[in-house]
Amino acid sequence: MTKAAATTTSIAELLPADTPAIGVTCVRANGWEGGLTAAERAFAWATGFTGKAGSLAFLPAADGNLGRVLFGLGDPDAPGADALAAGRLPGLLPVGAYRLDGAPDPALAALAWLLGSYHFARYRKGESAKACLVAPEGIDGPEVRRIAAAVAMGRDLVNTPANDLGPAEIEAAARALAGRHGAAVTVVQGADLERDFPLIQAVGAAATRAPRLIDLSWGPEDAPRVTLVGKGVAFDTGGLDIKPSSAMLLMKKDMGGAAVALAVADMAMGAGLAIRLRVLVPAVENAVAGNAFRPGDVLRSRAGLTVEIGNTDAEGRLILADALALADAEAPDLILDFSTLTGAARTALGPDLPAFFTEDDALAQEVATAGQRAVDPVWRMPLHQPYAAMLDSKVADLNNVSNGPFAGAITAALFLRRFAPKTKRHGHFDLYGWNPSSKPGRPEGGEVQTARLAYALLKARYGG
């Protein structure tokens, strides 16, 4: 029986603007005393407050209750300053209602607050009461709340362990999302999957939980077509090229690309963007059994290209290849694919900065702008065509891995590009999907990196 995909998500409320609240005044390190009474200045000085980034001063009211909170921004214009600094506050303030004053970007500060209030509560009960924020004047409160809720939904999926989140539960999450927005979902599995999507079937064949392709669609048929593709490997053992135990510890997050695609879809549908949206999620578990695909096997893809298996632990690109072939068949205006694909990208850029690939320079600039606007950064890496020769095979059209240790993220991106040749506006995101440690607005654990960027991109391109 399929277990419920829903989890107990917990993010703070965004309260109506007329809610009585305690003021949280955001101040710089220089000149923070301005606007305070003499008594407030004296009290803040006595506590050692300097306006350092992340510092707090709790100032009493005349009746002895909490009157105001000072929140230090340091120098928000300095290199390395965290634009999501307000995401610290839910974990620092007592339970109550608060109003932010002086934030450089009130909408971003409100979003950071909600993102920072997230905790995953499916298996361990936490405090339900929270420091809640009154919506800053002039912001689009419902929009901020929708984005935060979509991120929380995606984080929940990544954080859920594989015993409770397999291919069927990923499907259930997609169907629940479709139900909220009036979208349609079709699922291909069994004999139809084996016939039409042979790479997806091969990767998932050894698991006791059946592989499938989830296909969600929404919006008017005559609108610009946007297709999101998300890697949905519920757990990755590496297959017969099995991972060491240390490398398996976080493999519940190998469906992070699917979580990103669903989170972006949630934001886009909630905003009513003028697009024909399609979301494709190949959902599998890469397991070990007698019928597992093997190193040296040659598999035929949906696109007709034959693929020699150089390593069964490079399974993500195989399932994405079949999904991209389906996406490319209708030549959409834009394809974005998301995946926790290569360790090479993490070696090059670390866990916080996903790699981004595209042949389209205009799209690359739009992505960079959207990432900066959403404080969801990526770094463009080259689709260096001479490296495609590293994927040559003597027995098939191409190998699923390169013939050496170099440029792993680039060769993976070049592999995927072979399966979507018609769509020139194609962006590939190679992400980590996890916060190794807590930062403002980004608690340790599952993260839908690039989701807010992708939504900002779609909103800028297609409007509401």
User: For 403-412, how does the pLDDT look when each residue is reduced to its tens digit (9 = 90+)?
Assistant: 899 999 999 9
Q: Which residue has the tokens 């809610």?
A: 19
Count Cβ atoms below 10 Å from residue 184 Cβ, excluding itself: 9
- Convert the pLDDT of each residue in 194-227 to its tens digit: 999 999 999 999 999 999 999 999 999 999 999 9
Q: Both tokens of residue 182?
A: 């009036």
Close Cβ partners of 389 (under 8 Å, ≥ 6 residues apart): none
Quote the CA–CA distance of 132 and 235 in Å, as a whole number: 36
Average of per-residue pLDDT across 9-31:
91
- pLDDT-based confidence at 1, cuts 50/70/90? very low
Q: Which of 430, 393, 229, 211 is nearest to 311 (CA)?
A: 393
For residue 460, is pLDDT > 90?
yes
- pTM value? 0.96
**Catalytic residue positions?**
243, 317
- Convert the pLDDT of each residue in 91-102 to its tens digit: 999 999 999 999
Close Cβ partners of 346 (under 8 Å, ≥ 6 residues apart): 432
Burial (0-12, 13-18, 19+ Cβ within 10 Å), 222: exposed
| CA 460 to chain CA mean position, Å | 19
Distance (Å) of CA 107 to CA 8, 111, 112, 351, 452? 26, 6, 9, 26, 14
Helix, strand, coil percentages (3-state) for the chain, rounded to 5, are 35, 20, 45
Q: Cβ(377)–Cβ(279) under 8 Å?
A: no
- Convert the pLDDT of each residue in 340-354 to its tens digit: 999 999 999 999 999
- pLDDT-based confidence at 334, cuts 50/70/90? very high
Quote the CA–CA distance of 433 and 60 in Å, as a whole number: 42
Name all domains of the chain by residue range, CATH numbers in brackets.
9-139 (3.40.220.10), 147-462 (3.40.630.10)
Which DSSP string do the residues of 99-124 spell out, in sequence order? EEES-SSHHHHHHHHHHHT-EE-SSS
- pLDDT-based confidence at 7, cuts 50/70/90? very low
Q: Cβ(448)–Cβ(433) under 8 Å?
A: yes
Secondary structure letter of residue 439 according to DSSP: B
Secondary structure (3-state) at 41: helix
Distance (Å) of CA 91 to CA 50, 68, 95, 455? 20, 17, 10, 27
Q: What is the dihedral of CA 149, 153, 154, 156, to 10 degrees?
A: 130
Quote the CA–CA distance of 193 and 191 in Å, as a whole number: 5
